[in-house]
Amino acid sequence: MEILKIGITGTVGAGKTTFVRSISEIDVVNTDRVASDETALMKATTTVAFDFGRLTLNSGQILHLYGTPGQFRFNFMWDILMPKVHGYVFLVDTSRPQDFRASRRLLNYMKQKTQSPLIVGLTHADSHKAWKSEDIALTLGLSNFVTKPPIIEVNATNSHSVAQCLILLVEQLIQQGINVV
């Protein structure tokens, strides 16, 4: 059985931990700790190392899911995890335009760490504050039709929605010639 390492990344509060928890077939290993900075204004805990989950596909292929921290002060974990992933999902909370600049900065950082295929997952798209996917693509600097990664709405709390996102990523991996079967 081949193991595919999949990164789940994005800014604080984008839904990374929830994404991994909603699809993992094992109890998720997580490193959430009490938030001790401005993150505490958004949520009580934050990931300080990574979340780990696992999913076995019908083909016997195993996905190892690594949810990264969202804070730039934990970028040493990005440096450890991202060069080793086969592909990654970059989550963006569509209802938090105040985070879009940090999202763009983080996406650019990730692109420097790995050339692996990526999917942009838009969370909270059902919010009345949500931005449209075209506007988020422009904000993230993803306006080139040829190089723009697939962008999909994903409900991180819904395992079916998360599965659809991962299916799209696996399709990208197959197109890139990465052995998935």
CATH code of the domain containing 100: 3.40.50.300
| 3-state DSSP assignment of residue 90 | strand
Q: Which domain holds residue 129?
A: 3-175
Report yes or no on whether pTM surpasses 0.75: yes
Rounded to whole angstroms, what are the CA distances from 86 to 16, 25, 76, 96, 100?
17, 20, 19, 28, 25
Domain assignment present for residue 180? The answer is: no
Handedness of CA 34, 37, 39, 40 (dihedral sign): positive
Overall average pLDDT of the 15-39 stretch: 77
Split at pLDDT 50, 70, 90, the class of 42 is low
Domain assignment present for residue 125? The answer is: yes
Overall average pLDDT of the 125-136 stretch: 92
Q: Per-residue pLDDT for 59 more than 80?
A: no
Q: Per-residue pLDDT for 34 more than 60?
A: no
Domain assignment present for residue 129? The answer is: yes
The count of domains in the chain is 1
71, 36 contact by CB (below 8 A): no
Q: Per-residue pLDDT for 104 more than 60?
A: yes
Average model confidence (pLDDT) across the chain:
86
Domain assignment present for residue 142? The answer is: yes
Domain assignment present for residue 48? The answer is: yes
Q: Per-residue pLDDT for 173 more than 70?
A: yes
Domain assignment present for residue 52? The answer is: yes
Domain assignment present for residue 181? The answer is: no
Domain assignment present for residue 139? The answer is: yes
Q: Looking only at Cα atoms, what is the longest distance across the chain?
A: 44
